[in-house]
Amino acid sequence: MAITLDPSENESASKDSKKKHGRRQGMPELIFGDLWEYDPAPETADPRIRQRYDLFIGGRFIAPQSGEYFTSINPATEQPVTEIALANSADVDSAYMAAQLAYETVWRDMPGRERGKYIYRIARLLQDRAREFAVAESIDGGKPIRESRDFDVPMAAAHFFYHAGWADKLAYVAPGRTVEPIGVVGQVIPWNFPLLMLAWKIAPALAAGNCVVIKPAETTSATAMKFAELLQEAELPDGVVNIVTGAGETGAALTGHPAARKIAFTGSTEVGKLIMRQLAERGTRMTMELGGKAANVVFEDSPIDQAVEGVVNGIFFNQGHVCCAGSRLLIQESIADSFVHKLQQRMASLRVGDPLDKNTDIGAINSREQLDKICNLVESGVAEGAKLYQPACSLPSRGFFFRPTLFTEVTQSHRIAREEIFGPVLSILTFRTMDEAIEKANNTMYGLSAGVWTDKGSRILRMAAELKAGVVWANTFNKFDPSSPFGGYKESGFGREGGRQGLLDYLELS
Amino acid sequence: MTKHSIADDFGAVDRVGIEERVAKFTTRSIKRKSKLWGLHTAVSMVDLTTLEGKDTPGKVASLCQKARQPSDDATIPPVAAVCIYPSLIKEARKHLADSPIKIASVATAFPSGQSSLKVRLQEVKYAVNAGADEIDMVINRGLFLSGEYDAVQDEIAAVVEACGDATLKVILEVSELESYDNVRAASFIAMQVLRAGDFIKTSTGKAGGSATLANTQVMLEAIRDFYLDTGTPIGMKPAGGIRTAKQALHYLVAVKETLGDAWLNSSRYRFGASSLLNDLLRQIHKEKHGAYQAPYYFSEAAESY
């Protein structure tokens, strides 16, 4: 795409700049060449994706009333994967009616231990079909099979297991209070972790006794529809979970529906604000998990190689399509040059390419739209004077791909330091003192996550207290667990998902 | 030297982080041509080892024969070296005189190192005079753990001198160093007095623990940092506990992705192993012919650690 600067060119362009990050003249370099190339190792399990998916309403697959379908493509090949039904407001309405009926007649009054059995069954079925779901997720969304296989699908199953355990223990979730389900919940999820976000939303809702109308993102609906098949297999009562597919208009119909007692949204801050406006005059409860621009703060005494690994994991995991991605790196000035050099060296062995290859580290960008957005922001970074570095890895000739990228000489006012890029692009800033690090880390409209790297425990504790972020990781990054609440400060949203706190957001307390 | 955390001098290693990193190496899927290349390369890196009190000239003769021609398949390279006790060097020399295979001898009161420096140096000289091409020494863990880092380094420097032209491999005995911070520090303490082409090595194979992907990775990263700082390339030898071809491929993946192509050869990387060799041969046969052979089709010449 637009940004394909040859790294060597970029280096020579900077020869006269007196302070150079990374490559040092005349110093030894390592060779990451092709002496031992890994042969292609494609995952070949059958994803069992149907040619066309209807809406899942009231426990059945139902054609959309408009009769319209749209094509979901594989971002790594630009080839069609499946056709997805386009739901209009009438479809959304019948989904809510089905949910309301199921809530009033079955789910609300079912004993928790019975509800728990269904949720356990969903978790086990998901485990049984883990490989199939992983392949489908990689084909439809572009993420490397290594991640869908080792992270997305097992973590999705873990969320169902965790919440299944809560279903019969709700009396103990808020000691001294009485809890009840909220009712029918409308949920809208993003395209970066399609199945996992679905699990984050559905599992606590079901455990708490709510019924669900959920809309997956329009580019990544395939695994949600496969999940609907799995719900049939689990014999979940009809209407407890309803899945409607479509784009923004469908989403607006879903979030604006009067039967929704709560709206749970994960996605961009921009859309989150629209929903909040839409619901401003009603009593609908909301939880919002929105954008982020996380700071990963590396002190000079940190375990350097593990910090490099954590920074790489923090920004290149899932092509950087992660709301809590560590997209701003703050390095202590004393180690900045050597750290950047190590980072560049590490990037040389990242493998970009076919998401289904088991050795791929970075897969395809989810959509052309997203790729354009990344290119646009990267161009702004270059135009505003930041220094770009990309390793010389080859990219497939088709599909939406973007090289892992870092920017040095970034200041707080650069667009690439302020706006969420949602791609494999890291902006590097430096600091001298802990106070400066805190100030810079908090100088953002977002506050979803942050990372601290240091060998000193007291420093971790102070940073964790001072950083205005919902999650602060110390000497690690992008770690998730169903029992650990996740959510943001400021424009990163409100409400928590996971753990006791996340469950409370699906319950009425009295 | 003042007593302070050794991590202050050479950098810290986070246990959780390094173990997560190496777990990723084991998810690399090495197939077909790349697998065959990896297996062949691993064969060429083996230091075929026997280090037992019951070793006899006959066993060493059979070890040397196995080293020269690991199997009937003529495309399979000889191993890098045989690794034996000093008293058997002359015997090995007889059988390897006209071959490229190196004779490596352990020395310095292997495996404990618990003797006077004078005796240990004499042993090194004895081994070199007897015809050893390479010396595998052990560091003084007692001195290291009591914080006498300068003294540890001085001893290694003395051994380097005693080696003359022989290549030196410094065994850190990582399982006795207690922490990854110490493994990293000991790597640097050794490398600072080594010559280009010398090695650092994980283990004797005689203590409780031996090479793991994680402790090997700590040492690979130390080698990388030292090379980038000084330009002096130091080799790496994990030893003990590497028994299967699959493990060996994981170790090589770590080399490829940490130190790069220049370390993917026997002058910079070795496996201290014996039973590994036959598993490599077995896997090579399977890759070429599509079926596994029973273990008894492969000659057994070294079943020690």
Q: Is residue B304's pLDDT more than 60?
A: no
Which of B35, B59, B102, B237 is labelled catalytic? B237
Exactly one of B136, B181, B198, B279 is catalytic; which is it?
A: B136
pLDDT the model gives residue A281: 85
User: The pTM is what?
Assistant: 0.93
pLDDT tens, A111-127? Answer: 999 999 999 999 999 99
CATH of residue B80's domain is 3.20.20.70
Looking at the structure of chain B, the number of domains it has is 1
In the numeric block, which tokens belong to residue A261? 């007692």
Does the residue B300 lie in any domain? no
The pLDDT, as a whole number, for residue B259 is 97
pLDDT computed for residue A94 by the predictor: 98
> How confident is the model at residue A36, as a pLDDT?
97
Q: Torsion over CA of B125, B129, B133 and B135, rounded to 10 degrees? A: -20
Q: Is residue B21 part of a domain?
A: yes
Residue B94 lies in a domain: yes
- Decide if A455 and B221 are in contact by the 8 Å CB cutoff: no
Is B66 part of the annotated catalytic residue set?
A: no
Q: pLDDT per residue over A158-214, tens digit each? A: 999 999 999 999 999 999 999 999 999 999 999 999 999 999 999 999 999 999 999
Listed range (A159-168, A338-347, B184-193, B294-303) with the worst mean pLDDT = B294-303
As a whole number, mean pLDDT of residues B19-40 equals 97
Segment 209-268 of chain B within 8 Å of chain A by CB: 221, 224, 227-228, 231, 252, 256-257, 259-262, 264
**pLDDT tier for residue B6 given thresholds of 50, 70 and 90:** confident
Least CA distance to B223: which residue of chain A? A30
Q: Give the tens place of pLDDT for each residue, B164-180.
A: 999 999 999 999 999 99
CATH of domain A52-290+489-509: 3.40.605.10
- Kindly calculate the radius of gyration of chain A based on its CA atoms and give it in whole angstroms: 23
Positions of chain A with pLDDT lower than 70, given as ranges: 1-25
Does B96 score more than 60 pLDDT? yes
Cβ B30–A39 below 8 Å, yes or no?
yes
- Which residues, in sequence order, are CB contacts of A136 under 8 Å at separation 6+? A47, A48, A49, A222, A223, A226
Structural domain boundaries in chain A: 7-37+292-474, 52-290+489-509
Percent of chain B with pLDDT over 70: 97
Q: Is A154 exposed, middle or buried (0-12, 13-18, 19+ CB in 10 A)?
A: middle
Mean pLDDT, residues B189-200 taken together: 98
Q: Is B54 a catalytic residue?
A: no
Query: Which residues 5-34 in chain A show a CB within 8 A of chain B?
Result: 27-34
CATH number for region A7-37+292-474:
3.40.309.10
pLDDT level of residue B295 (50, 70, 90 thresholds): confident
Does residue B197 sit within a domain? yes
Residue B131 lies in a domain: yes
State the smallest CA–CA distance between residue A201 and chain B in angstroms.
28
User: Is there a domain that residue B2 lies in?
Assistant: no
- What is d(CA A170, CA A190) in angstroms, rounded to the nearest whole number? 28
The answer, for B196 touching chain A at a CB cutoff of 8 Å, is no
| B295 vs B101, higher pLDDT | B101
pLDDT attached to residue B175: 95
- DSSP E strands in A197-326: the ranges are 211-215, 241-243, 262-266, 285-289, 295-298
CB contact under 8 A, A36 and B264: yes
Cβ–Cβ contact B206 with A under 8 A: no
Q: Which residues of A touch B20 (CB under 8 A)?
A: 309
Residue B1 lies in a domain: no
Instruction: Measure the CA dihedral B157/B163/B167/B172, to 10°.
Output: -40
ipTM exceeding cut-off 0.90 for this assembly: yes
Averaged pLDDT for residues B33-38: 97
CA distance A157 to A484: 15
Range of the domain at B98: 7-291
The DSSP secondary structure of A293-326, one letter per residue, reads --EEEE-TTS-HHHHHHHHHHHHHGGGG--TT--
Q: What is the mean pLDDT of residues B89-109?
A: 96
Mean pLDDT of chain B: 94
